[in-house]
Each structure stands twice: as structure tokens, then as C-alpha cells.
């Protein structure tokens, strides 16, 4: 481990809020990471494992918090055939850099998840996904240090019980991920069949088409950028943690209680529907660009599902706006929006 001088966590997160922690340990290998985590488990002091900082909102006072920074990098080929390749990717690798690399190599299966900020090791936690793809579709196994048992083991995909933006890791299974293995396809430079009408409609192709990998990546970056969902110094709407709430999933019968024009998507089980949280927010009377009086936290001007830091916002202001949105949506629609990012120190 490398004990570095603590800096405000606003400097290490895409939301740019968060105070200075008690300590900051930088771990550049899985061995260092597991050692730091085990020491934290044996201690009664507060700690948090931080990687890309894209899905975390920190409180302003973190003076009693020890931060373990995941910084192990590397991509290794484990096995390869004419049709497939299995890659072991260290937890500290940038997810979007890995996607860009895979697209450049001609490996398909994650191209529609371009532009998602954060680290590879964080992706299994909430089963990261976008535009019809999810990491659970390509993950083969994960090296996982289990807090309950203290066991370090390679766990298969099924161990994590993946579902929409969810996994056993979000539902109470505690531990830390050292690396993730992915099985990607070799399809002659083409994507897997597109499961997103947004992509195929954008390029005038049929749903389920296989498109050039780079074209898919470019389209996704364009679509995400139009919503402020690609981190960019030139886009103030990207100073966020992406979608702040998950889209609620309800039964088909429950969905009939909402207006016909609500944006929704059928789930694979054909028994339930995913409702647009952004639609619920805007139709609860909270428009894009909304902010509470005197606050520097605001709803993105491009996408109602994102909360942004307009410059100098505090963690408390971000949390206050999130609570306000939840209360308005609950009052208007009877739906409890669930925050997607980790809220630490509140």
C-alpha cells in the first residue's frame, strides 16, 4: 500500500463533492488491495473502497473515514478461440478505456456500454448496463474477497445473482473485487445483435442488426453526450454521477395505472415493465435545470434523471435535492425512487 496525503474526495469523484478523509491508501495490486481491506475489517474505524468515483456521493465531513483507493491495472488474455476471447481485467482499470480497447481489437459484447464512467471492478456491483447490454451477459467469473468468511475465491457469474441494475453485492453480500473476467465475441468487426431501438433507429437499421463496432461506440457516445452522460470538461451537465435513480420496475397491471404516454420498456420476463424515472420526475413538476433556492445542486438541463453540481455544491445540497425529488415523485405517483449511486457519510 501507498499511504498518500489525503485530498478532498471532491477531487476523486465525478460529482465533485466530498470532504477530506482521515487517510488515503492507494493500492496498485490485488495483494495490496486485499491487505488494506483486511486491515480495515479488523479495525473498528470507518472505511470505504473507492475506484473511479463515478457512482459515489460523499458527505462533506469525512474526517473519520479511511479511503482505500483501487488502482490495480492490467488486461490479460486467459483463453482464446476463433470465435471468442476471455479477458481478465484488473478492478482499477477504467471501464470506458477497456470498452474502447475492446472495440479497437474487434471484440464484441460491451460496445453499447461505451461512455459509462467508473472502474471495471465496480461494474458487477450494480450489473452496469446500457442500450440493451449488461455486464452480467459477458462476465464469466470474479475474484472476490468475502468479508463474512474471509475467503479469497474465484466466483462464477451465478454467485452474484445478477438482475436489473442489481446483484447480491448490492443486497448485502460484503467483500471486495480484485479482477473480473469477460467472455467477448469475435464477429469480424461487427457488434452482437443490437437490443436497443435507440441505436438502430439512430442509424436507420433494423432492431437486432449487427453493426460495425466503432459505429455502435460512436452512436452511444453521441446519445449519452446529448444527455450529459459522458464525462467532459466542456459539458457542465456531466458533473454528476450519471443517472441518480434507477428506473422502477412494476407489474404489467400496475403499469396500467399510469398515463399512456409514460415512457416504459417491457422486461424479459414479459410480466413486468420498466418505467422511466426521468418521466416520473418531470411529470411530478420537476423540470430539467431545476434547483432548490440558493442551492448549487440542480437537475441536469439535458436529462431529468441526473443531478449535477453546478459549481461548488456541497454533498448536503446534492442529498437535499435528491430527497426533494423522491418526495415529489412519491406524492404524485406513489413510487419510491431508489438512488443508484452509493451515498457515503450521510
Per residue in 287-316, pLDDT tens?
A: 999 999 999 999 999 999 999 999 999 999
**CA–CA gap between residue 289 and residue 324 (Å, rounded):** 14
- The ranges assigned to domains in the chain are 2-70, 75-226, 236-344
**CA–CA gap between residue 129 and residue 257 (Å, rounded):** 28
Please indicate whether residue 340 is annotated as part of the active site: yes
Please indicate whether residue 93 is annotated as part of the active site: no
- CA-to-CA dists, residue 133 to 113, 191, 297, angstroms: 7, 11, 31
- CA-to-CA dists, residue 38 to 67, 136, 139, 272, angstroms: 13, 27, 25, 41
Q: Give the H or E element holding residue 38.
A: helix 30-42
* Cell triple for 236: 457542465
In the block, cell 423522491 appears at 326
**CA–CA gap between residue 167 and residue 31 (Å, rounded):** 25
Contacts of 3 (CB under 8 A, 6+ apart): 23, 24, 25, 26
Percent composition of the chain: helix, strand, coil (DSSP 3-state, to 5)? 25, 30, 45
DSSP string, 245-282: BPPPEEEHHHHTTS-TTS-EEE-TTSSEEEE-HHHHHH
Catalytic residue, chosen from 16, 88, 155, 165, is 165
**CA–CA gap between residue 249 and residue 120 (Å, rounded):** 26
In the block, cell 470505504 appears at 48
Catalytic residue, chosen from 143, 243, 300, 317, is 243
The reply to whether 236-344 shares the fold of 75-226 is no
Q: Is the pTM of this model over 0.85?
A: yes
The DSSP output letter for 337 is: P
Catalytic residue, chosen from 32, 93, 111, 340, is 340
The structural architecture, per CATH, of the domain 75-226 is 2-Layer Sandwich (3.30)
The pLDDT tens digits along the chain (346 residues) read: 577 899 999 999 999 999 999 999 999 999 999 999 999 999 989 999 999 999 899 999 999 999 999 999 999 999 999 999 999 999 999 999 999 999 999 999 999 999 999 999 999 998 999 999 999 999 999 999 999 999 999 999 999 999 988 899 989 899 999 999 999 999 999 999 999 999 999 999 999 999 999 999 999 999 999 988 888 888 999 999 989 999 999 999 999 999 999 999 888 788 899 999 999 999 999 999 999 999 999 999 999 999 999 999 999 999 999 999 999 999 999 999 999 898 999 9
Residue 3: CA count within 13 A, CB half-sphere: 5
CB 125 within 8 A of CB 117: no
Please indicate whether residue 143 is annotated as part of the active site: no
**CA–CA gap between residue 258 and residue 36 (Å, rounded):** 49
Longest dimension (CA), the chain: 59
**CA–CA gap between residue 126 and residue 173 (Å, rounded):** 12
236-344: what fold? 3.90.78
CB count within 10 Å of CB 234 equals 5
SS3 99: helix
- As a CATH number, domain 2-70 is 3.30.43.10
Amino acid at each position: 500500500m501507498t499511504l498518500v496525503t489525503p485530498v478532498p474526495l471532491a477531487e476523486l469523484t465525478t460529482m465533485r463533492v466530498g470532504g477530506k478523509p482521515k487517510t488515503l491508501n492507494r493500492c496498485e495490486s490485488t495483494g495490496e488491495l486485499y491487505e488494506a481491506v483486511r486491515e480495515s475489517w479488523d479495525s473498528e474505524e470507518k472505511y470505504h473502497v473507492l475506484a473511479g468515483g463515478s457512482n459515489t456521493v460523499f458527505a462533506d465531513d469525512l474526517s473519520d473515514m479511511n479511503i482505500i483507493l483501487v488502482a490495480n491495472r492490467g488486461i490479460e488474455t486467459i483463453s482464446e478461440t476463433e470465435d471468442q476471447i476471455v479477458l481478465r481485467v484488473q478492478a482499477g482499470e477504467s471501464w470506458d478505456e477497456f470498452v474502447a480497447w475492446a472495440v479497437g481489437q474487434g471484440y464484441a459484447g460491451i460496445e453499447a456500454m461505451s461512455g459509462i464512467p467508473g472502474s471495471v471492478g465496480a461494474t458487477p456491483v450494480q450489473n452496469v448496463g446500457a442500450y440493451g447490454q449488461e455486464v452480467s451477459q459477458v462476465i464469466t467469473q470474479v475474484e472476490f474477497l468475502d468479508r463474512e468468511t474471509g475467503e479469497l475465491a474465484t466466483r462464477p457469474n451465478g454467485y452474484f445473482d445478477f438482475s436489473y441494475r442489481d446483484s447480491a453485492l448490492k443486497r448485502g453480500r460484503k467483500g471486495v473485487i480484485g479482477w473480473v473476467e469477460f467472455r467477448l465475441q469475435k464477429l469480424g468487426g461487427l457488434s452482437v445483435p443490437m437490443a436497443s431501438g435507440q441505436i438502430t433507429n439512430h442509424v436507420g437499421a433494423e432492431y437486432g442488426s449487427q453493426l460495425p463496432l466503432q459505429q455502435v461506440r460512436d452512436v452511444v457516445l453521441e446519445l449519452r453526450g446529448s444527455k450529459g452522460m459522458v464525462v467532459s470538461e466542456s459539458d457542465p451537465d456531466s458533473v454528476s454521477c450519471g443517472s441518480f435513480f434507477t428506473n422502477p420496475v412494476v407489474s404489467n397491471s400496475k403499469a396500467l395505472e399510469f398515463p399512456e404516454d409514460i415512457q416504459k420498456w417491457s422486461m424479459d420476463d414479459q410480466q413486468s415493465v420498466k418505467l422511466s424515472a426521468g418521466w416520473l420526475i418531470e411529470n411530478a413538476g420537476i423540470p430539467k435545470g431545476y434547483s432548490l433556492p440558493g442551492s448549487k445542486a440542480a437537475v441536469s438541463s439535458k436529462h431529468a434523471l441526473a443531478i449535477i453540481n453546478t459549481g461548488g455544491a456541497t454533498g448536503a445540497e446534492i442529498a437535499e435535492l435528491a430527497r426533494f425529488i423522491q418526495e415529489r415523485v412519491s406524492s404524485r405517483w406513489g413510487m419510491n425512487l431508489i438512488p443508484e449511486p452509493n451515498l457515503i457519510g450521510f
